[in-house]
Structure 1
């Protein structure tokens, strides 16, 4: 993929360089960066601070996880429970709300004692403050207790505000968490209260118009840096759509959404081996044009990943569906079907890489990244179309450096 020529001649042959050098993504443009829960490397996740910082760092998309309050307000939280990322345990008036709860669906299985977000009204949730996860002591703790739990409308208000004040487009990419649970708690005749509620909010704000958007123009040399710096070309025209995608791990939710909206659907999965076959990709392409999976599947290949992750593999079914596809094949076959590929999650460089190979558990995989640069370059080389990232500043630097490498053959 990399161009082989002398940098000293690059000015003379710049037009030829642009034609010959590029990324291996489906549209030939640099991988898009999705701010995972905003910018959780520095701010408490899913807060105004986290989302605003992701905008300052020029994320292409800014991700909220969507759950539901007791009174049916769509709110932002990664988990259905509150103890990991809030100060709930320190609020005496809510001490009696902690309880055991279990729910078993086709795609989720919850069995835990905690404070549950669906036991609190939206007004009560405003009394609870968000904090950094305790598992990462190197993340700043200065902003603990500064931010309240957001509603989806709060999040969309912020995205609209920063889009206007910064004069740039930020994509939204909400994930519907545990649709089976929240549709059970909010029954409707069609059983799709959660999905319909989100679509209603998005449609009222114009996200359903002119979807799916046309492909972005192919970037030339220097375009990525200009995009990050928000330097617009002389012929720039504001888009006639709002950049958006909707995610879920629930395939039936994704299938339903695909019948109700033209907004691109992101199907997340890291537990179903048969999907990583030719016929599995055919199935995905029938309802989703964006497929997101555990990043390790794109490193080890699906068979090694599911074996080491102790996920049962029906070898007869896999053979009937065309056999497992190795990472390069998986990328090529997905792109052939019009499916963009998205690994999750590439973390801050201070966080240990937790691949099977880095744990000494994988004797099969030939390449094992030892740092974030090696990790991100591997997925850039593979041609992933989007990437969930934390510490967006680092990710931007590495993407820019890789873009230079792609176009000039030099490792910056």
Structure 2
């Protein structure tokens, strides 16, 4: 990270060091998981405690016991993969405060939806490095705004090097679970994020041997990546992320096909997914739906159906604030309150369904839930 040493980033975690002792577990499930133990995936790092997709967020996640850290990947104008949840950087950087880039604000259609803002594909890496990260949800996570302006946007390669250094310092393996974002959109602009991604993981010793799971909401790229990634890292797995049941994967939509994620969640659909993926990544609400007030309804059979098809299930996203919890688990402290008790109860409910892993914005809570503390 330009301008920030590893020591500076680690100081910003305000967390205890990694310890190998965190990773001995006794897990009991009401329903069987296909994993030896459920995995804790740090969603955009520890995004409940630090601005997302910064080295500080990744460092905090590692210190809090995450098994895997997630970088979402989008390209810059000069084809460098950087860690952002979407190409539009309006909500997660200070780009709006840079008058030199004011004329780059525009509207694009991405996966059928219009977005207005500033996009990574209009910035070279050098230009992007002049920006600083900021908190996406400043009203809900006001405590994170104290870090606004402190950290830049890391490249995927910087993130790999950082995690590799942390793994060496902690004495344990730390997995990476990168998501290739908006593949069809970027290919239409002339980029090939999959080719760049494969070149990068092949070039780094760490990504050739560390736990690695590649994710996408699209099916076409996973057909190619499934074999290509495993040729580089034999222990790698591939996950199809699942959007809303009525939505069509963006690559299929672009081809005029009508297959929905709901179709892919049926027993027959899951058997088809198993031909090119090892894991599905559904929303938590596809496992236990909620009513209009946010209360839990009866659970679905998706976890059992996926297991029957030979697929693992890694669901998204557990968040600790009352605003995101099911109605039954919220307390009276307001939407922005970090409700540890409620979040633990939510995660344990999903683990009891046999969930193999889950994304969380707050890995410390996820670690406690898995460890049964």
Q: Same fold (TM over 0.5)?
A: yes
Aligned pairs for 1:318-337 within 5 A: 327=299, 329-337=301-309
**Alpha-carbon shift at residue 206 of structure 1 (Å):** 3.8
Aligned pairs for 1:225-244 within 5 A: 241-244=209-212
Which of 1 and 2 has greater Rg? Answer: 1
Report the equivalent of 2:196: 197
Report the equivalent of 1:116: 119
4+ runs deviating over 3 angstroms: 20-28, 206-209, 326-329, 354-359
1-side partners of 2:328 and 2:172: how far apart?
A: 40
Report the equivalent of 2:317: 345
**Alpha-carbon shift at residue 24 of structure 1 (Å):** 4.0
Aligned pairs for 1:100-249 within 5 A: 100-103=107-110, 108-133=111-136, 134-186=138-190, 193-206=192-205, 209=208, 241-249=209-217
CA RMSD of aligned residues (A): 2.5
Counterpart pick for 1:53 among 55, 60, 79: 60
1-side partners of 2:132 and 2:307: how far apart?
A: 42
**Alpha-carbon shift at residue 113 of structure 1 (Å):** 2.0
TM-score, normalization by structure 2 = 0.77
- Asked if 1 retains the 8 angstrom alpha-carbon contact of 2:278 and 2:310, the reply is yes
1-side partners of 2:170 and 2:46: how far apart?
A: 17
**Alpha-carbon shift at residue 100 of structure 1 (Å):** 2.0
Instruction: Give per-residue Cα distances to partners, 1:68-125, cap 9 Å, x unaligned.
Output: 000111111011111101111111111111112224xxxx123122111110000000
2-side partners of 1:38 and 1:208: how far apart?
A: 18
2-side partners of 1:208 and 1:166: how far apart?
A: 17
Counterpart pick for 2:362 among 370, 391, 397: 391
Report the equivalent of 2:263: 274
1-side partners of 2:50 and 2:301: how far apart?
A: 38
2-side partners of 1:38 and 1:63: how far apart?
A: 6
- Asked if 1 retains the 8 angstrom alpha-carbon contact of 2:30 and 2:353, the reply is no
**Alpha-carbon shift at residue 327 of structure 1 (Å):** 4.8
Instruction: Give per-residue Cα distances to partners, 1:280-318, cap 9 Å, x unaligned.
Output: 110111011110011011003xxx89xx8xxxxxxxxxx
Counterpart pick for 1:285 among 252, 260, 274: 274
Report the equivalent of 2:95: 88
Ranges in structure 2 where 5+ consecutive residues have no aligned partner? 1-25, 231-235, 245-260, 293-297, 331-340
1-side partners of 2:225 and 2:103: how far apart?
A: 37
2-side partners of 1:353 and 1:381: how far apart?
A: 20
**Alpha-carbon shift at residue 59 of structure 1 (Å):** 0.3
More deviation in 326-335 or 27-36?
326-335
Aligned pair in 2 of structure 1 residues 327, 137: CA closer, same or farther (>3 Å)?
closer
Aligned residue for 2:288, secondary structure, equals: helix
Instruction: Give per-residue Cα distances to partners, 1:173-205, cap 9 Å, x unaligned.
Output: 100010112112225xxxxx2111101110111
**Alpha-carbon shift at residue 395 of structure 1 (Å):** 1.9
Report how many aligned residue pairs link the two structures: 311
1-side partners of 2:131 and 2:372: how far apart?
A: 41
Report the equivalent of 1:297: 286
- Asked if 1 retains the 8 angstrom alpha-carbon contact of 2:240 and 2:279, the reply is yes
- Asked if 2 retains the 8 angstrom alpha-carbon contact of 1:25 and 1:31, the reply is no
**Alpha-carbon shift at residue 139 of structure 1 (Å):** 3.4
1-side partners of 2:123 and 2:28: how far apart?
A: 54
2-side partners of 1:389 and 1:45: how far apart?
A: 12
Aligned pair in 2 of structure 1 residues 25, 143: CA closer, same or farther (>3 Å)?
farther
The answer to whether residue 40 in structure 2 is matched with residue 72 in structure 1 is no
The answer to whether residue 253 in structure 2 is matched with residue 264 in structure 1 is no
Aligned pair in 2 of structure 1 residues 374, 40: CA closer, same or farther (>3 Å)?
same
More deviation in 178-187 or 327-336?
327-336
